Chain A
Amino acid sequence: MAESSEIEKLTSREYEYGFVTAIEEERIPKGLCEETVRLISAKKSEPAWLLDWRLKAFRRFLELLAQESEPTWAQVKYPRIDYQDMYYYAAPKQNAKLESLDEVDPELLKTYDRLGIPLLEQKRLAGVAVDAVFDSVSVATTYKAELEKHGIVFGSFSQAVLEHPELVRQYLGSVVPYSDNFFAALNSAVFSDGSFAYIPKGVRCPMELSTYFRINAQETGQFERTLIVADEGASVSYLEGCTAPRRDENQLHAAVVELVALDDASIKYSTVQNWYPGDKEGRGGIFNFVTKRGACRGRRSKISWTQVETGSAITWKYPSCILQGDDSVGEFYSVAVTNHRQQADTGTKMIHIGKNTRSTIVSKGIAAGHGQQAYRGLVRIGPKAHGARNHSQCDSLLLGDQCAAHTFPYLEVKNASATVEHEATTSRIGEDQLFYCRQRGLSEEDAVSMIVNGFCKEVLRELPMEFAVEAQKLLGLSLEGSVG
């Protein structure tokens, strides 16, 4: 029938961003040893304190590796990763010092154009400053000068280390210590670049800050580090996007993100994650093992995470908030989609320490095909967190009968004055819903996309306007061919 061949065509459609950029890249030898760490540090002319920190992290990683402490508690299955069988640094060859964006390799500019992220001045996105990270390095940052007028520091992590060492040194590892977990230790040892943002006291950042991560090189891991600090009374909205070429082998992406909000500061952090998810049979795809954590250090500070996770073969991430300052607020809004053979174990931790701290968790999981999906969330109310409040809502939507969704809520309440609420639902896209839409003239694909977007609405409306539209389209694309 016409309809089913249509679905077949859509399913077999290629991942839109699966192309490879032909560019000469410089790589350091394969494998991981102390020399690898020293080489990465030397490439970036890092100060001694940072190399020391990396080496401590590397030793910790070796200990964890020897103890076979790679986490196994997550509801995901994958073959053992050989940490000696990948490259830890790959960077496009270019002039050492770029005077302006016009000097960026045209191949790179073309790549970002194709990804919908134009970097050149006359074409760049209005109202969004972009830091473009390509494999192990940041290749360009837009609107830098404009932001500097407001005292805002935004750009590559490596550059921040050289230009603002005191800021980096003060906050690096203060939220996610190098010893935090297996992948955080690995990242701390070999991280190659990422984004850094500092918003000074009382400044509301006048535009969206954004980092676009692109993996290009084969057999290469991407280990980036993002650090965002909002000083007293500052506010910022930050967005990250990610894509990778279509390949048959898996690639590791182990990032660390640290956020710090001081008194009355607020940080809104949004992610639209679209790493290559692997093919229908589960060949290839990115292993996305990420540690993201924000510290609400100041009173009345606020950190809000919004994530739309549609890509990656495996997602393992729990953007969390440490609500230390009294009256601070943590939020987590998440949509995770697993289609075909994708697996996701994602959620959050809300650690209430200060008085009258509040947190909200809204998690929407969508599983289709053979997709596996787990929500894992911890709400901990410390003994001093008088009047703390949490509301959690976890909903799962299943398409078809080969997929699965699980919910693992953990509640630890050590203060009797706290209020903690947890709601969870699981539903299946009803045949009656689909038929109702189709009887009104909508195609099956459009109907699924509409029902799914409705299901995710509470999360999508948290995204910055421009990206909400992208995210909606992405949700529709990720689920194409999942019914019928």
Chain B
Amino acid sequence: MKEAILEIEGLEAEAGGKHILRGIDLVLRAGEVHALMGPNGSGKSTLAGALAGRPGIAITAGKVHYRGEDLLALEPEERARRGVFLAFQYPVEIPGVSNNYFLKSALNAVRAHRGEEPLDAMEFLSVVREKAALVEVPKDLLARSVNEGFSGGEKKRNEVLQMLLLEPTLAVLDETDSGLDIDALRIVANGVNALRGEQRAMLVITHYQRLLDYIVPDQVHVLTEGRIVKSGGKELALELEERGYSWLEQEPPRSEASAR
């Protein structure tokens, strides 16, 4: 069997005083792409945040291992440097800091951890231009302040550009498709597919089946009320598209059956 990149066992978490994640079990192996679907408020973004170490999410039970290491014991930047990447649902604006500078600092922080020499300005520019072309991020967007005044689509493409640069081992994409038109969706999907590979695992969080036409998952999981209630192949997404989520609420939650 391939190396387990991510192993989640009985994960429970609170955010804003609410019990959101109620026992998640999930394993992602090298080379796999998993889709995580579910209605609003089911805990998808909380799970993404928990994996990245977002402040304000309190882990109350369970374990998460990343390549055998206790992920929850690491600071957010330590997780990032080890190859955990989160594409934000709402990318953050940083006024006055150029996108190029930000990307270069991030890349060099990750490279330093890998024991690689930092890239100088010229080396960085040639790398970033190549990757930017893949996701159609124009030069002027690289020179502007991070995400400031970017359109929704530009922000999402910028997230994928960062992912391409940092070459993570585990990529979590939190609704990277939301608010995108069909062309933008294709661009984003191309970027993600370019990174797909035998050493990596990806968790793609989405509301819509249509993204999965472009990024074909190995497995699909359905999250409702903080539990994974159903897992299946890519055809599960089509079924969800047709029938919605309500029929799943009748079935016994999988996590209770397996984890308890």
Contacts and interface: CB of A to CB of B under 8 A. Distances in A.
A446 to B, nearest CB: 7
B56 A442 contact: no
B75 A438 contact: yes
Nearest to A427: B95
Interface string A446-484: 100011011111100000000000000000000000000
A234 B110 CA distance: 50
A446 B166 CA distance: 18
Interface in B31-85: 52-56, 75-77, 79-81, 85
Instruction: Output the residue of B76, B92, B109, B110 with the most chain A CB within 10 A.
Output: B76
Interface string A47-81: 00000000000000000000000000000000000
Given A440-B80, A441-B109, A444-B77, A435 B97 contact: no
A455 B96 contact: yes
B139 to A, nearest CB: 20
B162 interface: yes
Interface residues of B, number: 31
Interface in B79-103: 79-81, 85-86, 88, 91-97, 101-102
B105 interface: yes
B110 A436 contact: no
A440 B166 contact: yes
B106 interface: yes
B60 to A, nearest CB: 19
B145 interface: yes
Given A431-B55, A438-B75, A442-B77, A450 B92 contact: no
Given A438-B75, A440-B162, A441-B80, A430 B106 contact: no
A441 B166 contact: yes
A436 B76 CA distance: 9
A436 B105 contact: no
Contacts of A435: 52-55, 76, 92
Contact of B94 (A1, A441, A446, A450): A450
B129 interface: no
A34 B109 CA distance: 61
Contacts of A454: 94-97, 145
Given A453-B97, A456-B96, A441 B110 contact: yes
A122 interface: no
A441 B88 CA distance: 14
Contacts of A457: 96-97
Nearest to B98: A454
B113 interface: yes
Dominant SS among interface residues on chain A: helix
A439 B86 contact: yes
Instruction: Output the residue of B55, B81, B85, B92 with the most chain A CB within 10 A.
Output: B92
Contact of B106 (A1, A432, A441, A451): A441
Contacts of A94: none
Contacts of B113: 441
Contact of A442 (B54, B79, B105): B105
A451 B95 CA distance: 8
A287 B191 CA distance: 56
A450 B97 contact: yes
A396 to B, nearest CB: 14
B166 A430 contact: no
Contact of A441 (B53, B56, B77): B77
Interface of B: 52-56, 75-77, 79-81, 85-86, 88, 91-97, 101-102, 105-106, 109-110, 113, 145, 162, 166
22 contacts: A2-B75, A3-B75, A431-B56, A432-B92, A433-B93, A435-B52, A435-B53, A438-B53, A439-B52, A439-B53, A439-B80, A441-B110, A442-B106, A443-B109, A446-B105, A450-B97, A450-B105, A454-B96, A454-B145, A455-B96, A456-B96, A458-B96
Interface of A: 1-3, 430-433, 435-444, 446, 450-451, 453-458
